Structure 1
Amino acid sequence: MLRLTRTTNLPELREIEYEEGNDSLFALSNVGPEVFVSLQRDNFISRSLARNGSFEFETFERTVAHLGGPRDLLVDVGANLGTVTIPAAARGHAKQVLAVEADQLNYRTLMANLYLNDLQDRVVAINTAAGATSGELLEFQLSPENKGDHRVKHSSEPGAFGEEAWPTYRVESTRLDDLLTREGLSERLPRSLIWIDVQGWEFQVLLGARAAVAAGAPFVIEFWPYGLQRNGMMDGLAAFLCENFTRLTVASRLRCRPSRRPGRALQRSAPASTTRTP
């Protein structure tokens, strides 16, 4: 059993417990303004947290500035360890957060980070895979080195990363629209930001978020051609964006000033953003 404790600025002690598994070797990162539990066997996101105290959060901050300031709701799909969720909530970029993470170990670590930063009352974290339908059992692949590269398995063909041989387990899917309705958050969509980073599964998440699209929520999606093509979803995503949005903006290159016409969808990691005026 691993127990992590941290004293907050309140006169109380926060603590979280884990049962350690074979790859559950944790480290505590206190480099930046937030504190994170990270995974020692993760060579990417956790390494950035240990060195810098953050992971590519600048793109998120530029996006919020582009949209005109803090959001009533952030929906973080593919929340991982909380690298967007936690600073967004802690620094006032979002009043409330719905964090969705499919992997069990990443989800448990996310929960630890919420408590260590005293954000458990402002963030609802759900352990599920967002998808086009609810209740479907998806085969989920685990990257051995990059805990941010876990993904839904859609092909068994040999891949550039040897992913056909990665271990898998089953994860149940849930439509994003269903999650928002269940948590009573749908009314916040006009002043929200939906942030999606799911390694080539973005099209399926959008198919399960049609009500959120119709409500005018801005979307940021990672655009990763390799993952989308491997899943056979590049054309479907392009058609969906053309049908529902009218402008594409590269979020990683946004200027930090409000847009005259806030975007309906943004895109990250080759980050671009797509928008449509209601």
Structure 2
Amino acid sequence: MSSFSYSFGSVLRSLPQFRGKHRLSRWVLKNLVSTGHDLRVKGLLGCEYLLPNLTENLAFDVFINGIYEKETNDFLVEHIPQNAIVLDIGANIGTICIPLAKRRKDIRVYCVEASPFVFEYLKTNVELNGLTDQIFCHNLAITDQDGAQLPFYSDPEKFGKGSLAPIFADVAVMVNGMSLDSFVNFLKLPRVDFIKIDIEGYEYAAFKGGHTILSSPVAPSILFEFVDWAEEFSKVAKGSAQKILSDYGYSLLEFDEKNGLISLPKILTTGSAMLVARKKS
């Protein structure tokens, strides 16, 4: 990284969000975006990251803002119970779990990342931040099948968009699959208090494989994203992840950055939204 790019990145991370910041940064840093790899960056909250590249939006956001999806992180900090055991399924390189763990020293986070390439960055970033006694990393795919070898498609240049379907890549690596129930049993966890999951439309399979834990009256709250085209790529009906949670006895709410949590009147089948599932009282 050139000294100018490094200095400019540091200045950007010190500035609040402003109109045009993303576009301006893309233009000024276009050479770095196209050529930069394995960039070590100091972000907000004392976090450090090794970024595979800046082509992927996730990494670029960290480079210019020092944090990824700050509103999501703030929500998790506020809503995760005290001394919670948290599952981060689809943890990627750790841009959600690392600042969360820095802000919530009372919690333990068990991370799952399917891509072997991305998993190495996740482990490195957890180590860089001295969080190996609070964040525990596992390289596998959470699904509804135990012991299955599954094709996982992940382009290193688009490392934030890995999937069990060939959406952004056409070359797959085989990864181990495990159901959510079996994963919790494997870890011998006494309970799970919160789940954050982002696995590109395959949430339904993960929830299906978590029947025991998710059908319990004391099941964990869940933060997940609905994206119509991603769920369709997983070859289930759009809205299937929401429906199975509803069948388990969950209430569904939409997380709106401006208005907080809004009750969903019906299952979403079009568009996209960040959703929260809570057990009905």
Structure 2 counterpart SS, 1:223:
strand
Q: CA deviation at 1:203?
A: 0.5
Instruction: Please point out which of 266, 272, 277 is paired with 1:274.
Output: 277
* Compared CA separation, residues 144 and 120, structure 1 to 2 (3 A): closer
Tell me the number of residue pairs that the alignment of Structure 1 and Structure 2 aligns.
234
The answer to whether the aligner puts 1:79 opposite 2:91 as a matched pair is yes
The answer to whether the aligner puts 1:253 opposite 2:257 as a matched pair is yes
What is the TM-score when the length of structure 1 is the normalising length?
0.76
Q: CA deviation at 1:29?
A: 0.9
Task: Tell me if structure 1 keeps the 8 A contact 2:250–2:278.
Answer: yes
Bigger Cα displacement from structure 2, 87-96 vs 101-110: 87-96
The answer to whether the aligner puts 1:49 opposite 2:50 as a matched pair is no
2:160 and 2:98 map into 1 onto residues whose CA distance is 16
* Structure 2 unmatched ranges of 5 or more: 1-34, 263-271
1:75 and 1:54 map into 2 onto residues whose CA distance is 20
1:24 and 1:244 map into 2 onto residues whose CA distance is 46
Instruction: Please point out which of 197, 219, 222 is paired with 2:222.
Output: 219
Instruction: Please point out which of 236, 244, 251 is paired with 1:240.
Output: 244
List aligned pairs for 1:159-174, cutoff 5 A.
163=168, 166-174=170-178
Structure 1 counterpart SS, 2:120:
helix
Taking only the aligned residue pairs, the percentage that are identical comes to 23
The answer to whether the aligner puts 1:117 opposite 2:129 as a matched pair is yes
Q: CA deviation at 1:82?
A: 0.4
* Compared CA separation, residues 116 and 66, structure 1 to 2 (3 A): closer
RMSD between superposed Cα atoms in Å: 2.6
* Compared CA separation, residues 183 and 238, structure 1 to 2 (3 A): closer
Q: Which one scores higher on RCO, CA 8 angstroms, separation ≥ 6?
A: 1
Task: Tell me if structure 1 keeps the 8 A contact 2:246–2:252.
Answer: no
What is the TM-score when the length of structure 2 is the normalising length?
0.75
Q: CA deviation at 1:255?
A: 5.7
Q: CA deviation at 1:236?
A: 3.2
1:244 and 1:66 map into 2 onto residues whose CA distance is 21
Q: CA deviation at 1:63?
A: 4.1
Q: Identify the residue that residue 90 of structure 1 maps to in structure 2.
A: 102
Q: CA deviation at 1:61?
A: 2.0
Structure 2 counterpart SS, 1:51:
helix
List aligned pairs for 1:82-231, cutoff 5 A.
82-92=94-104, 95-143=107-155, 145-153=157-165, 163=168, 166-185=170-189, 187-189=190-192, 192-213=193-214, 214=216, 215-231=218-234
* Structure 1 unmatched ranges of 5 or more: 1-22, 260-268
Name the structure where helix makes up a greater proportion of residues.
Answer: 2
1:50 and 1:141 map into 2 onto residues whose CA distance is 25
